[in-house]
Amino acid sequence: MSAEEEESIRDKPFDYSLSRFYDALPPSEDPNAESSVYSQVRQLQERYEFLESVGTGGTKQIDRVLDHRTNTEVAMARPREDLGERAYETFLTEARLTARLKHPNIITVHDVSIDDQKCPFFTMELKVGDSLSTILKKLSQDDVDYSLRYNRDTLLGMFVRLCDAVAYAHSQKVLHLDLKPANVQVGQFGGVQLCDWGLARVMGVADDDAGDGMIKGTPGYMAPEQVQADAKSVQTDIYALGGILYAILTYQAPHRGTEEDILQSTVKGTLVPPAQAYPDRTIPESLNAVAVKAMAVNPEERYQGVEELQREVRRYLGGYATRAENAGVRRLLQLLYRRNRTLCWSIGTAVAVIVIGTGLFIDQLRLSEGRALEQKAIAELAQRKAEENFILYKEQTKESLKLAEDIRTSTVNMMDVENFMGA
């Protein structure tokens, strides 16, 4: 460096704060070094660590596993070993169908893959809580804790959210075809998620298993067209939703007995309405009618969309009559009063005050009128008395004057007699 350059550098102001900043930096690390977290993830030979078996549901084995990449616990689903490779295609179809449904009330699929043994699996949210089936069983046993946590309106609120999930799936052209309380998961804080899409089908796509002679669904909740292997539609899921509503109202499945009895009852439509089957439950006629309509044997007689069924339950929760019950005038007036009880009390109180006030005012008027009449009568009596006294006074005055005149005349006459005698 030349002398001129050194002098130029010395003449420039030095930024000591910047110098202190660089001096405080730790020694430079190897730019090629990996962070500990990155290294852990990259070097993992086994992403998922088995923790425990959760249970078997339908055609799947569910385990609780630890995902080392995210360090979170998730649920892992695998085909049941006894089903063999023939179940793989259906299993992966379920995984893909569920993964495409993005809704807060539908279980979320994280990963779909095949393990080292060439067995497919998928991971999903690990939910802590109870199934709706467990909750209803506890309620049927009069469990105090569950009775306090899950009253009828709370359960109906869950049903409304379940309808949201099914309506969304239908908007994506997906039918669930296995709706039942056991497939509805309720979280610790009331969250509702619809699970197990193993029988789900895309609308308008032929069912590859339709000719195998097997009935696919859950007896008691599956629609007649499922029992008879007929075409499925939105109304097929609506029938099952009606069955879930029936269970919410009664804590029991809509059809009971042996599997054969249940299937026959489903096809023949010999459903006993919930209010009739369980009179001790005090089931509102409005919801009783909704459940019966949703579970009609003929799909055309059911609700034509999940939103229509959902609106019926919301009407009940809002204090309105449902369309299914065909409420009369008396029922509508009762509901009007219940919806506006505070307002009705206020209006009733105001009317009562007005009536009482009007009555008191009328009584006061009558009392005042009576007093006025009494005073008028007294005045008229006094006037008549005064007039009579005046007439009497006039007569007495007249008599007094006459008497005085008579006395004067008598006095004059006596004086005249005395004068005559004296003469």
pLDDT of 253 reads 94
User: Known catalytic residue: 178?
Assistant: yes
Among candidate residues 124, 147, 167, the one where a domain is terminated: 124
Task: Tell me whether residue 94 is in a domain.
Answer: yes
Q: Are residues 227 and 261 in the same domain?
A: yes
Query: Residue 319 contacts by C-beta under 8 Å, 6 or more apart in sequence?
Result: 335, 338, 339
- Which tens digits make up the pLDDT trace of 359-404? 777 777 777 777 777 777 787 777 777 777 777 777 777 777 777 7
Shared domain for 108 and 149, answered yes or no, is: no
Judge if 147 and 171 occupy the same domain.
Answer: yes
Residue at which a domain ends, from 78, 109, 124:
124
CATH of the domain at 62: 3.30.200.20
Q: Decide if 282 is inside a domain.
A: yes
Residue found by looking up tokens 């006025």 in the block: 372
Cα-based distances in Å from 13 to 1, 9, 10, 18, 146: 19, 8, 8, 12, 76
Closest C-alpha to 288, from 274, 270, 302: 274
Domain co-membership, 143 together with 245? yes
| Both tokens assigned to 165 | 């999930």
Task: Give the mean pLDDT of the chain.
Answer: 82
The answer to whether the CB of 331 falls within 8 A of the CB of 324 is: no
The H or E element spanning position 109 is: strand 109-114
Q: Compute the distance between CA of residue 264 and CA of residue 14 in angstroms, rounded to an integer.
A: 95
Q: What is the pLDDT of residue 205?
A: 79
Residues linked to residue 158 through DSSP beta bridges, in sequence order: none
Higher pLDDT, 25 or 283: 283
Is residue 115 domain-resident? yes
Pick the range with the lowest mean pLDDT from 104-108, 129-133, 208-212, 220-224: 208-212
Look at residue 1 in the predicted model and tell me its pLDDT: 53
**Domain boundary at 106, 124, 142, which?**
124
Report the residue count for the chain. Answer: 423
pLDDT value of position 308 = 96
| CA–CA dist 80, 62 (Å, integer) | 9
Q: Are residues 168 and 278 in the same domain?
A: yes
Looking at per-residue pLDDT, the higher value among 209 and 293 belongs to 293
Q: Which helix (H) or strand (E) holds 144?
A: helix 144-149
Least confident residue range of 76-90, 114-128, 134-148, 345-359:
345-359
Separation in Å, CA 129 to CA 105, 109, 137: 14, 18, 14
Q: Are residues 207 and 295 in the same domain?
A: yes
- Residue 116: pLDDT over 80: yes
Domain presence at residue 401: no
In a domain, 202, yes or no: yes
423: part of which helix (H) or strand (E)? none
Tokens 């610790």 identify what position?
188
Least confident piece of the model among 64-73, 77-86, 366-375: 366-375
- Tell me: pLDDT of 21 over 70: no
Q: Is the pLDDT of residue 74 over 70?
A: yes
Instruction: Let me know if residue 88 belongs to a domain.
Output: yes
Tokens of 280: 């001790």
Q: Domain with 315 in it: what CATH number? A: 1.10.510.10
Residues 338-369: b if buried by 16+ CB within 10 A, e if exposed? eeeeeeeeeeeeeeeeeeeeeeeeeeeeeeee
Decide if pLDDT at 282 tops 80.
Answer: yes
Q: Which of 136-140, 154-158, 252-256, 344-348 has the lowest mean pLDDT?
A: 344-348
Q: Are residues 52 and 117 in the same domain?
A: yes
Whether 344 maps to a domain, the answer reads no
Q: Is residue 139 domain-shared with residue 44, that is, in the same domain? A: no
Which residue type does 178 have?
D
- Is pLDDT of 260 > 60? yes
Token couple for 301: 């007689």
- Asked whether residue 14 carries a pLDDT value surpassing 50, the answer given is no
Check whether residue 136 and residue 225 sit in a common domain: yes
- Residue 203 sits in which domain range? 131-326
pLDDT of the residue at 283: 93
pLDDT band for 265, please (50, 70, 90 cuts): very high
Q: Specify the number of domains making up the chain.
A: 2
pTM of the model: 0.70
Provide the pLDDT for residue 208: 59
Given this model, what pLDDT does residue 16 score? 45
Is 9 domain-assigned? no
pLDDT in tens, 177-202: 999 999 999 998 889 999 999 899 99
From 63, 164, 178, 196, the catalytic residue? 178
**390 vs 22, residue with greater confidence:** 390
| 118 and 139 housed in the same domain | no
Top-confidence residue, 388 or 257: 257
Higher pLDDT, 41 or 47: 47
Whether residues 118 and 239 share a domain: the answer is: no
Residue 302 and residue 222 in one domain? yes
Sheet arrangement for strand 48-57? 48-57, 60-67, 72-79, 120-124, 109-114
Q: How many CA atoms lie within 13 A of 363 on its CB side?
A: 6
The tokens for 240 are 């099952």
